[in-house]
Amino acid sequence: RKTNPGKQRAPNLLLLGMEPAQYVLWVLKSVKQAELEQSLLVLPLGHVERMLYYLILLLRSGRGVEICARVSVFLVKTHQNQIMTSRSIAVPLRELRRLLRQRLAESRDVIGFNLAALRAVAKTAASRKDAYLDFDTPSEAKDIWAGIGLGSDLAAALESRRR
């Protein structure tokens, strides 16, 4: 019998060198939405419990929040009667609900912050665009290529407009 002094497991080749939770996330992301729902629909209760366990692990690490939320809501809706009769799923469901609320609130805050930043950038860009492109006074328009001798479409357009 061989001993493992480092107490480190050898990576499973079927998991492509990933951790089990990471592999579950990879599979969930790689399956199309319609096919994912069909495959989750036929899961037996034991596999639903295992899937909820992996979803909790993924949410704890903050990976794949959107797909974890989608899968967990679908699983709970479709297997509602079986889940209500099973007492072993009550504690993981509470943990799942807590983690989903926490992670989705964090995602909502990040998205709101990014949206506000994009609006500020768009507003700044629009104000600067108006400052640079003032076509009412063509005599003040400046061609940046004029001094180099390259000739530009802007210079030609300004000359034709002046005539």
pLDDT in tens, 86-125: 888 889 999 999 999 999 999 999 999 999 988 888 888 8
pTM beyond 0.95: the answer is: no
pLDDT digits (tens, 9 = 90+) for 37-50: 999 998 898 899 99
SS3 string, the chain, reads CCCCCCCCCCCCHHHCCCCHHHHHHHHHHHCCHHHHHHHHHCCCHHHHHHHHHHHHHHHHHCCCHHHHHHHHHHHHHHCHHHHHHCCCCHHHHHHHHHHHHHHHHHHHHHHHHHHHHHHHHHHHHHHHHHHHCCCCCCCCCCCCCCCCCCCCHHHHHHHHHHC
**Residues 38-64, mean pLDDT to the nearest whole number:** 92
For residue 53, pLDDT over 90 is answered with yes
